[in-house]
């Protein structure tokens, strides 16, 4: 009889052996036993050998215990080990500034913004479901009610008549269902033809699977949309086959197809290829997943907060999300989980196979242009039917330490909402500009005409308090110097440059924001013109945080990008300064940079504004209009209990 059990434990000798007495054949028995034990040894040896191999691959490891204390390496927030890291706190060499900064309450409370949206306390991240309804702009957002770090996420809610003066409302949705128990995450609103609103949002369910849920206002006659109802049949979508349970989030606003169905996209990834899945639905309850993807780009990783919308090629107004046609281009935007930046591509939408083809595949979604070259993520647009414009929201997180956030009791702000348009002059860029309603915050203004700033000089601008400002500036550079400058084939980039201490023939020049009198703290917002060996000029627009603060536990990077300058254009800037946030727009918003800065001295009355020119050869002349900005007095909605709910 042959033993039919395939695997026997190593040490088993439990008598399953059906054989019988052996005494008669001692000699043969010994041989067979030797074979058995021989094979046993072979097996064991093989096992041992395999595990030895893996150990040897690592060889001898460097001793990790040293008797002498060595300086700790600051860890950047970028990719892990193996990638060259630029310390994100201290620009350049380690430990230059020594001891960590002892923040005091005066410094910390100065950091809070006066006219940017932020909740009264604690943590905020992604904008959610922005919309205009019955006379109010609504803004929802990812919120942690318990701490100034991400966690326990629910939906915060605020309303405004003008996108600037916000009033806080009660939380719109909390994590009270199994399908969003682990988090009420990002979602978008869609208007139905009858004017009703549906909200599709991601829930991290009780098993931490990412699912899509439907919610809608409890009472459509309530202009404040205070109460929300979650569809009893949730979740309406779960991760499809081939998609991991933690790679399925942030559904977009839906748009109508020519068949009268609703269509939306949702980001995901397959290995390291970022993708956008597409679904069609008639009722937001049952969905049909399309076979094709809206777009996929290798190496970009997980696509968060996908946004997809039309822009007019001919008009300077916004378009409803469902619009398509020959005078329309489409914009596809993604937030890349891997590098925490927002990217967009301009291209064409083909409804038939629900695909997006970028105009220029070399700058495809996720590998080309960014909305903003500073701190800006999870951005989302909505069509504002009130003023026929498309409005963009973006989350601006902190650039300081979490310990400081804990001390001050809050973290993150939103950018000022921006209108977004196709740049008709270039056709390759979008233009972003703060919504016009922000002009209502302007108080007294200061005008400066043709101020000459010679190469290597700084000119103070007397504008009174300099922590809440709206600055419009135009620069003209000395034409002769432009022509005479020798070109080189050295490529320039803001982020790898030494900031404003690195002098070129034709730059840097611009503004020093939140600077103290002695310039020990300063945040330059500036242009740098590089001349190629072929004589062609390239203009760069940068923000230099490296000397923004004497504190060592804040980010000290240089941000920015090349900005296209069209023939006949002057170099122009708009800068919004609001305490610890600076939003800067070059060439009408063709290139935008948002920075967070935390000066320790250049605060309150000690903060000043300067023009500067650190070029070696070219003089510049600047004309500016600068306004003091009022606070937006963002606060809780008054007397809410008396309002009908």
Partner 1 sequence: MKNTFSLALLHLSFCFTFFALTHISAMELHGHGANLIETTCQRTPFYNLCVSTLRSDPRSSGADVAGLARIGADKLKAKATATLRQITALLKVTKDPKLTTALRQCVDYYNAIVKYDIPEAVEAVVKGDPKFGVEGATDAANEADACGREFKNQPKFPIYGSNKAVHDLSAVVASIVQLLL
Q: Which is nearer to partner 1, 398 or 617 (CB)?
A: 398
Which tokens belong to 462?
Answer: 């007397």
Q: What is the DSSP string of 42-107?
A: HHHHHHHHHHHHHHHHT-SPPP---SS--PPPPPPSSS-TTS----SSSSSSTTSS-SPP---HHH
Q: Binding partner 1 by CB under 8 A: which of 156, 183, 434, 588?
A: 183
Residue recorded with tokens 């702000």: 413
- Considering beta carbons, is residue 39 or 566 the nearer one to partner 1? 39
Closest approach, Cβ 149 to partner 1, in A, equals 5
User: Tokens 């432009």 belong to which residue?
Assistant: 482
Return d(Cα 461, Cα 450) in angstroms, integer.
Answer: 13
Cβ proximity to partner 1, 137 vs 248, nearer residue:
248
Q: Give the residue with the Cβ less far from partner 1, 320 or 337.
A: 337
Angle (CA) 391 394 399, round 5°: 155
Cβ proximity to partner 1, 89 vs 371, nearer residue: 89
Q: Least distance in Å: CB of 382 to partner 1?
A: 23
Would you please indicate which residues are annotated as catalytic (active-site) residues? 126
> Which CB, 8 or 285, lies closer to partner 1?
8
How far is it, in rounded angstroms, from Cα 234 to Cα 178? 9
Looking at residues 129 to 148 of the shown chain, list those that interact with partner 1 (rule: CB under 8 A): 147-148
Please select the residue that binds partner 1; options are 121, 168, 170, 245, rule is CB under 8 A: 245
Interface pattern 45-74 for partner 1 (x via CB under 8 A)? -xx--xx--x---x--x--x----x-xxxx
Q: How far is the CB of 126 from partner 1 (least distance, A)?
A: 10
* Residue in 426, 511, 425 with CA at minimum distance from that of residue 474: 511
Cis peptide before 235 (omega within 30 of 0): yes
Question: Using the rule CB under 8 A, which residue among 14, 27, 59, 81 binds partner 1?
Answer: 81
| Choices 93-101, 343-351, 508-516, 565-573; region in contact with partner 1 by CB under 8 A | 93-101
User: Residues near 499 by Cβ (< 8 Å), separated by ≥ 6?
Assistant: 91, 524, 542, 544, 546, 547, 558
Of 441-500, binders to partner 1 (CB under 8 A) are none
Check the CA dihedral 497-500-501-505 and report its sign: positive
From the list 311, 308, 367, the residue with the least C-alpha distance to 343 is 367
Distant-in-sequence contacts of 461-464, Cβ < 8 A, 24+ apart? 461/608, 461/609, 461/610, 461/611, 461/624, 461/626, 463/609, 463/626, 463/628, 464/628
Determine which residue in the list 196, 246, 282, 635 makes contact with partner 1, applying CB under 8 A: 246
Q: Which residue in 30, 39, 92, 317 binds partner 1 (CB under 8 A)?
A: 39
**3-state DSSP assignment of residue 516:** coil
Which residue from 15, 59, 102, 135 is in contact with partner 1, where contact means CB under 8 A? 102
In the list 111, 113, 182, 584, the residue contacting partner 1 (rule: CB under 8 A) is 182
Contacts of 554 (CB under 8 A, 6+ apart): 89, 399, 400, 401, 545, 548, 597, 598
- Restricting to residues 8-27, name those near partner 1 by CB under 8 A: 8, 10, 17-20, 22, 24-25
Nearer residue to partner 1 within complex by CB, 145 or 564: 145
DSSP 408: H
| Out of 30, 104, 151, 385, the residue judged to bind partner 1 by CB under 8 A | 151
Which one of residues 162, 315, 338, 569 is an interface residue with partner 1 (CB under 8 A)? 338
Give the interface size with partner 1 as a residue count (CB under 8 A).
Answer: 77
Cβ contacts of 241 within 8 Å, gap of 6 or more: none
Name the one range near partner 1 by CB under 8 A: 78-86, 488-496, 564-572, 630-638. Answer: 78-86
> With contact defined as beta carbons under 8 Å apart, do 463 and 511 qualify?
no
Q: Is the Cβ of residue 64 or residue 489 nearer to partner 1 in the bound state? A: 64
Q: Which of 274, 301, 417, 619 is in the footprint of partner 1 by CB under 8 A?
A: 301
Give SS3 for 483.
Answer: helix
Residues 185-224 within binding reach of partner 1 (CB under 8 A): 185, 204, 208, 210
Contact set for partner 1, span 394-433 (CB under 8 A): 401-403, 406-407
Q: What residues numbered 528-567 form the site for partner 1, per CB under 8 A?
A: 552-553
């Amino acid at each position: 009889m042959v033993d039919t059990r395939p695997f026997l434990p190593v040490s088993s000798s439990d008598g399953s052996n059906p054989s019988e007495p052996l005494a008669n054949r001692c000699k043969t028995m010994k041989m067979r036993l030797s074979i058995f034990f021989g094979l046993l040894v072979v097996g064991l040896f093989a096992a041992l050998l395999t595990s030895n191999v893996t150990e040897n691959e690592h060889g001898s490891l460097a001793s990790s215990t040293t008797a002498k204390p060595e300086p700790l390496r600051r860890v950047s927030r970028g990719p892990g080990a193996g990638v060259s890291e630029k310390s994100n706190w201290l620009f350049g060499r380690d430990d230059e500034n020594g001891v960590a900064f002892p923040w005091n309450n005066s410094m910390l409370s100065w950091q809070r913004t006066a006219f940017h949206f932020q909740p009264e306390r604690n943590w905020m991240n992604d904008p959610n479901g922005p919309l205009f309804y019955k006379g109010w702009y609504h803004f929802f957002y990812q919120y942690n009610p318990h701490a100034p770090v991400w966690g326990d996420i629910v939906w915060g809610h605020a309303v405004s008549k003008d996108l600037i003066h916000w009033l806080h409302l009660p939380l719109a949705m909390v994590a009270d269902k199994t399908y969003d128990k682990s988090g009420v995450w990002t979602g978008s609103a869609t208007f139905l033809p009858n004017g009703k609103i549906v909200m599709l949002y991601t829930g991290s369910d009780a098993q931490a699977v990412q699912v899509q849920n439907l919610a809608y206002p409890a009472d459509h006659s309530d202009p404040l949309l205070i109460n929300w109802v979650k569809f009893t049949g949730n979740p309406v979508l779960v991760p499809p086959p081939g998609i991991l349970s933690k790679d399925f989030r942030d559904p977009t606003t839906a748009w109508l197809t020519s068949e009268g169905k609703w269509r939306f996209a949702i980001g995901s990834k397959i290995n390291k290829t970022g993708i956008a899945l597409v679904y069609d639905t008639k009722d937001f309850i049952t969905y049909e997943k399309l076979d094709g993807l809206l777009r996929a780009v290798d190496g970009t990783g997980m696509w968060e907060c996908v946004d997809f919308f039309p822009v007019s090629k001919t008009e300077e107004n916004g378009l409803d999300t469902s619009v398509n046609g020959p005078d329309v281009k489409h914009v596809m935007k993604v937030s890349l989980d891997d590098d925490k930046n927002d990217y967009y591509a301009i291209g064409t939408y083909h409804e038939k196979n629900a695909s997006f083809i970028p105009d220029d595949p070399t700058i495809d979604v996720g590998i080309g242009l960014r909305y903003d070259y500073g701190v800006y993520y999870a951005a989302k647009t909505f069509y504002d039917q009130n003023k026929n414009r498309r409005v963009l929201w973006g989350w601006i997180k902190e650039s300081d330490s979490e310990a400081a956030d804990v001390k001050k009791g809050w973290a993150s702000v939103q950018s000022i909402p921006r209108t977004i348009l196709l740049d008709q002059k270039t056709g390759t860029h979008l233009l972003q500009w703060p919504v016009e309603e922000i002009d209502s915050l302007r108080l007294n203004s200061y005008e400066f005409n043709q101020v000459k700033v010679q190469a290597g000089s700084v000119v103070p601008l007397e504008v009174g308090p300099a922590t809440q400002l709206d600055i419009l500036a135009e620069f003209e550079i000395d034409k002769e110097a432009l022509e005479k400058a020798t070109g080189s084939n050295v490529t320039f980039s803001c982020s790898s440059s030494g900031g404003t201490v690195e002098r070129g023939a034709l730059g840097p020049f611009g503004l020093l924001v939140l600077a103290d009198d002695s310039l020990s703290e300063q945040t330059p917002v500036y242009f740098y013109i590089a001349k190629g060996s072929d004589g062609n000029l390239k203009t760069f627009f940068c923000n230099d945080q490296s000397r923004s603060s004497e504190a060592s536990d804040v980010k000290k990077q240089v941000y920015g990008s090349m900005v296209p300058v069209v023939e006949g254009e002057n170099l122009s800037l708009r800068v919004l300064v609001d305490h610890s946030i600076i939003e800067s727009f070059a060439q009408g918003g063709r290139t935008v940079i948002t920075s967070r800065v935390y000066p320790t001295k250049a605060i309150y009355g000690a903060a000043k504004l300067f023009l500067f020119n650190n070029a070696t050869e070219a003089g510049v002349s600047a004309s500016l209009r600068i306004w003091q900005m009022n606070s937006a007095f963002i606060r809780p909605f008054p007397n809410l209990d008396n309002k009908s709910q």
